[in-house]
Structure 1
């Protein structure tokens, strides 16, 4: 298979490139040339935000294009229109943020989307931009030759958003750790490498249409995720499981200040951790154990010196140590290993 990845040196794109190389595919990467490329790929340079920035893509044919763009939909509009006669399929890595807030627990790909930005528009907001880019991809390639990968929470090596790396760093420091309960809270996420394998499988199977892209709800729990972090780092950390109400009353923001976590029973939890992924599973999605995701992310962090690179267009993740200490003090330090 001839694979063209637009981007391909950071998180999701890099995982797709590496998966393609492992399969022995002919892999081409198009980007601005600011990051080191994985070995075994052909490099084309250009800037999708610049006038005539797609010149390097003027020639060539590919079986599939994978695009992870998440800013102005105009970039997807221009790329897809340029490539529609020379590529078999266009796979756009979108987001479940394209669904109108707040989708109910169990929502499928038929849930109501937001009104997308115009495909030729400049940057608006994340949800409208992603939806606008979806529209651009389908307009250029048609519903039968486009795939919309509506990803949820993505974890794994190369993460440049700061969620799992923050938890690993915090737990590696040891001591009492504010662990947001309940311990058995079901999570829904996808290891970036599992998503990449599904994407390439979708190209091979000539799939089309939208797919909610995370593992099944409850593939891991909050307890299993944080306990895997403790085991992996080998730190002398004590997880102090704390009631959601205590955390919220302290003014701590779910999802950002305590990454991954959102309180049970909330619209946020239903939207972020309770979508229906039957369609993805039925078309080949498999998910590795949470321990493997955590261990491999930790190994990558150690290889790069312990600090993950963060995208400048994402919010800062993590809880201030003083705030954490104050909450722990208010509950008397909590009881290690107990479930609220």
Structure 2
């Protein structure tokens, strides 16, 4: 297979590159040049947000079996790339998001749920509308039979540049009492970026099309199992102090941002952690144990000096030491 990746130097794109190279595929990455492309790939440079940003793609004579796009900003950028590539690429694979479902998505929602409005010609719009607009832009250029939508939920694993699991690993590695948000047994649903990559390549090779929710099955792990794994793999002298969600919320702590990954039971939790993934499971989705995801993420963090890269378009996450200490002392 010959694969073009729009991006390919960070997190999801990089995981797909490594998985594809591991299969012996021929990979080309189109990127802005901010990071060195992975070894073993062809490289084209351009910034799709600028007027002539696709020039390197336009001037290339190459053709590909599939293009993978992880874009999450203006849908018009997906539109322009898809139109340019429609006659030179067989399939368009768009890493979308479960955020495209109309709020609030019902517990157990599958791919047939109602969707937010999207405009393939839009500029900067909120995240959910951007992802839906990107889906529509891909279909407009390639048609429904040649497009695959990977509707991911929470993505964690090596190369993460958002700061969710890296924050927890860094905090727990620091040792001492750690504010652990309850309930401990709260089930979590996420996807390891490498499992996303492998499933996406399998689906691409099989010619699958349409939308697929892509996260682990509900109850794949729990908050307690995730944080216990962080303690084990870091070898830290850390004590998880499990604290009721009501206490944490009453202190003004923001779920998801102050305490990454964590969402207390309720509407937002149901939207994030109860997706129906039976369609992806039937198409071969396999999810590795949480211990492996945590251990490999920690090993990667250690290999880069303990400081994970941070996407410039995303805020830094995590509770400050001062606020955590104040909460722990008030128990």
CA–CA distance in structure 1, aligned partners of residues 33 and 174 of structure 2: 35
CA–CA distance in structure 2, aligned partners of residues 50 and 244 of structure 1: 45
In structure 2, list runs of 5 or more residues that go unmatched: none
Q: Shift of residue 217 of structure 1?
A: 1.2
CA deviation profile, 1:76-122 (whole Å, cap 9, x unmatched): 00001111111111000011111111111100111111111x21221
In structure 1, list runs of 5 or more residues that go unmatched: 332-340
CA–CA distance in structure 2, aligned partners of residues 319 and 277 of structure 1: 32
Deviates more, 1:268-277 or 1:53-62: 53-62
Q: Shift of residue 71 of structure 1?
A: 0.7
CA–CA distance in structure 1, aligned partners of residues 151 and 49 of structure 2: 23
CA–CA distance in structure 2, aligned partners of residues 81 and 273 of structure 1: 35
CA–CA distance in structure 2, aligned partners of residues 315 and 134 of structure 1: 25
Q: 1:87 aligns with which of 83, 86, 89?
A: 89
CA–CA distance in structure 1, aligned partners of residues 125 and 256 of structure 2: 22
Which residue is equivalent to 1:263?
264
Matches within 5 A, 1:248-259: 248-259=249-260
CA deviation profile, 1:95-153 (whole Å, cap 9, x unmatched): 1111111111100111111111x212211111111110010001111111101111100
After TM superposition, the runs of 4+ consecutive aligned structure 1 residues lying more than 2 A away are none
Q: Shift of residue 279 of structure 1?
A: 0.7
CA–CA distance in structure 1, aligned partners of residues 39 and 137 of structure 2: 31
Which residue is equivalent to 1:78?
80
Q: Shift of residue 25 of structure 1?
A: 0.3
Aligned residues: 329
TM-score, L = length of structure 1: 0.95
Matched, 1:283 2:283: yes
CA–CA distance in structure 2, aligned partners of residues 65 and 147 of structure 1: 10
Which residue is equivalent to 1:334?
none
Which residue is equivalent to 1:101?
103
CA–CA distance in structure 1, aligned partners of residues 201 and 153 of structure 2: 18
CA deviation profile, 1:218-240 (whole Å, cap 9, x unmatched): 11100000000000000000011
SS at match of 1:34: coil
Matches within 5 A, 1:8-19: 8-19=8-19
SS at match of 2:151: strand
CA–CA distance in structure 1, aligned partners of residues 133 and 217 of structure 2: 27
SS at match of 1:276: coil
Q: Shift of residue 14 of structure 1?
A: 0.4
Q: Shift of residue 52 of structure 1?
A: 2.0
TM-score, L = length of structure 2: 0.98
CA–CA distance in structure 1, aligned partners of residues 241 and 100 of structure 2: 35
Matches within 5 A, 1:34-45: 34-45=34-45
